[in-house]
Amino acid sequence: RKEVEQDPGPFNVPEGATVAFNCTYSNSASQSFFWYRQDCRKEPKLLMSVYSSGNEDGRFTAQLNRASQYISLLIRDSKLSDSATYLCVVNLMDSNYQLIWGAGTKLIIKP
Amino acid sequence: EPEVTQTPSHQVTQMGQEVILRCVPISNHLYFYWYRQILGQKVEFLVSFYNNEISEKSEIFDDQFSVERPDGSNFTLKIRSTKLEDSAMYFCASRTSNEQFFGPGTRLTVL
């Protein structure tokens, strides 16, 4: 079973729409959760950390459900520049911040 | 803004040759990491390094791999005898708190 699982997409979404990504993780000892963004052939960049209480950063909202081992990312009012691959990442407890990566969900925003 | 740098940006080598990938982490960071990403696949953890020693390594990080911090600034990944399947993007990362900062990566092509 994959440790971090995401729908690979691509999600083709018109500009201005709202889009949601989901991610499930298998290891209940996962301690920290993140969404990274990766542009084609570039390094991953942290988009936001995900907290149990849920958190929002501008147009982006992240939610964590520990009971279901499920993480989500919501993007409102999507922009052309949001086109990228979104990576769900977890960090295990008692680990030296080794990050376990999902394969990513590709998002394409169309004008 | 401080950033992680990596050299070279692209390395082409013959199978069986040794390569050294170089990274300069952010100067006040204490934890260092190497990840790799085979084209079209997910990011995979290779190794973490703290206090001048390896703290964790993955199954990928076999005897062909080694890491070193030869001075106060560089962090290197050596692959002793490259194989075709070592072709990938190699990302270095460093952290001081919760967030890992990634370098732009070195694209390794093994012919």
- Per-residue pLDDT reduced to its tens digit, B9-38: 999 999 999 999 999 999 989 899 999 999
Question: To which residue do tokens 């960090």 refer?
Answer: A91
For the segment B63-70, the average pLDDT, to the nearest whole number, is 94
Q: What is the pLDDT of residue B2?
A: 82
Retrieve residue A33's tokens: 């959760």
Q: In the structure encoding, which two tokens stand for residue B40, read together?
A: 């079209």
Is B32 within 8 Å of chain A by CB? no
For residues B78-90, b (16+ Cβ closer than 10 Å) or e, as one string? ebeebeeebbbbb
Query: What pLDDT sits at residue A95?
Result: 61
> Is residue A10 predicted with pLDDT exceeding 60?
yes
Residues of A in contact with B55 (CB under 8 A): 96
| B65-68 vs B53-57, strand pairing mode | unpaired
- Asked whether the beta carbons of residue A98 and residue B48 sit closer than 8 angstroms, the reply is yes
CB contact under 8 A, B48 and A97: yes
Q: Pick B56's closest partner by Cβ from A32, A49, A95.
A: A95
Does B31 sit within 8 Å of A45, measured CB to CB? Answer: no
Whether the CB of B103 is below 8 Å from some CB of chain A: the reply is yes
